[in-house]
Amino acid sequence: MNANTSRQSPAEREEDSTLLSRTARDLPPGRHQFHKERLMAQIHQEERTTAPAAAPAPAPAKAWWLRLPRPAITLPVTAAVVAASVVAVVLTSGREAAGPGLADGPVLTTTVGAASTKGVPQLLDRISLAAADASHPEVEPGQFVYVESRIADTYLKTVGDKTSLASHALHRRQVWKSPDGTQGWLIDPAVNDNPEGETLSLPDERGNTPEANLNGPSYDYLARLTTDPDALLAKIYKETEGHGNSPDQEAFTTIGDLLGESYPPAELYSALFRTAAKIPGVVVVQDAVDAVGRTGVAVARLDETSGQREEWIFDRKTYRFLGERTVQVEKRTGEEALIKPGTVTFTSAVMERAIVDAIKRTP
């Protein structure tokens, strides 16, 4: 999203900066990402309704409930204020937190696995065929998509003039969403310290009902997408233009987000892998481990700006999607040098993906 300050006076920007900076300081670390992503969604909604007709539409903001690794991007002024105190997500722990809030966890590291372009199309073709053969019932009105995961993350924490790596323990995350995306619920102690969770239902706190998009999809929205890989990839590039550190990396990340916490209809789910095969720079990593220790083979791509490699992990035999992780593979400078090569900057494992008949109901 490109910076757009034309609608704010210097006084308004100073007021926003003071308010948001104070809010960021007063919040526990787990709430920073929550407010940053919600703010980005609200800014996106405002830009959709106030931007001049001749201006190109900005790429859609990430839905605020998606807690996924995102590369640094240029934000509008108000979002940048929050982002300054919400440093990029970077990795985590080995034990599961209990009760409200999150326990600290040790920084997770791994041996950086070798990457190869050899066999990428063949692997993604096998994954696509396995996805097409899997049982994949449709979601009916009145039902909900339920996704349960285990996730962990670490962030750069600055106290005074000292910055260090801080981490959250591996924890359970549960999401319920209706097919049209207007009803939902989230339980994630990294986002809300209320053990009962909080609503995702629309309209939001400001009375807005954002339209579903690639970065904030509903099941109904995904059901309307093309399953032709060339057309789908063209749509992804168009709608994410200006986001991320490169068009190819953002396209890869967008598909990865759909794998992690949504429920694409059967034909689209299979098509996503054929689409990923067309993105330059995609590689295979033969040895990867998800958040709960399940080993598999990964389809991956290196973000050359951040030096981090995003990996989608699949079971070696069934090619079922297990989870994803992001690994620092290159040395950085400045404060980012604290994130050493081999640091797992994000890790997740999908434990359950199912259709249920009510919010807070589990399979």
- Full pLDDT tens readout for the chain, 363 residues: 333 333 344 444 444 444 333 333 333 333 334 344 444 444 444 443 344 444 444 444 344 334 343 333 223 333 333 333 333 333 333 333 333 457 677 788 899 999 999 999 999 999 999 999 988 999 999 999 999 999 998 778 889 999 988 787 899 999 999 999 999 999 999 888 899 999 999 998 899 999 999 999 999 999 999 999 999 999 999 999 999 999 999 999 999 999 999 999 999 999 999 999 999 999 999 999 999 999 999 999 999 999 999 999 999 999 999 999 999 999 999 989 999 999 999 999 999 999 999 999 999
118-147 exposure pattern, b = at least 16 Cβ within 10 A, e = fewer:
eebeebbeebbebbeeeeeeebeeebbbbb
The structure tokens listed for 296 are 């598999």
The structure tokens listed for 288 are 């990867």
pTM above 0.85, yes or no: no
CB of 91 within 8 A of CB of 343? yes
CB of 254 within 8 A of CB of 240? yes
Instruction: Go through the chain and tell me how many residues it has.
Output: 363
The structure tokens listed for 59 are 């790429």
